[in-house]
Amino acid sequence: MTTFQDKTLVCRDCGKEFQFTAGEQEFYQSRSLGSEPSRCQDCRQAKRRDRSAADAAPREMHPAVCASCGKDCEVPFQPKGDRPVYCNECFTKMRNRR
In this predicted structure, what is the pLDDT of residue 98? 66
In this predicted structure, what is the pLDDT of residue 1? 62
Q: Is residue 2 part of a domain?
A: no
Q: Please indicate, yes or no, whether residues 11 and 33 belong to a single structural domain of this protein.
A: yes
- 87: domain range? 62-97
- Sign of the dihedral defined by the CA atoms of residues 20, 43, 14, 54, in that order: positive
Percent of the chain at pLDDT > 90 equals: 74
Number of domains in the chain: 2
Grouping H, G, I as helix, E, B as strand and the rest as coil, residue 73 is strand
Residue 60 DSSP symbol: P
Percent of the chain at pLDDT > 70 equals: 98
Q: How many CB atoms lie within 10 A of CB 85?
A: 19
Q: Is residue 44 part of a domain?
A: yes
Q: Is the pLDDT of residue 72 over 70?
A: yes
Q: Is residue 1 part of a domain?
A: no
Phi-psi region of 32 (alpha: psi -120 to 50; beta: other; left: phi over 0): left
In this predicted structure, what is the pLDDT of residue 46? 95
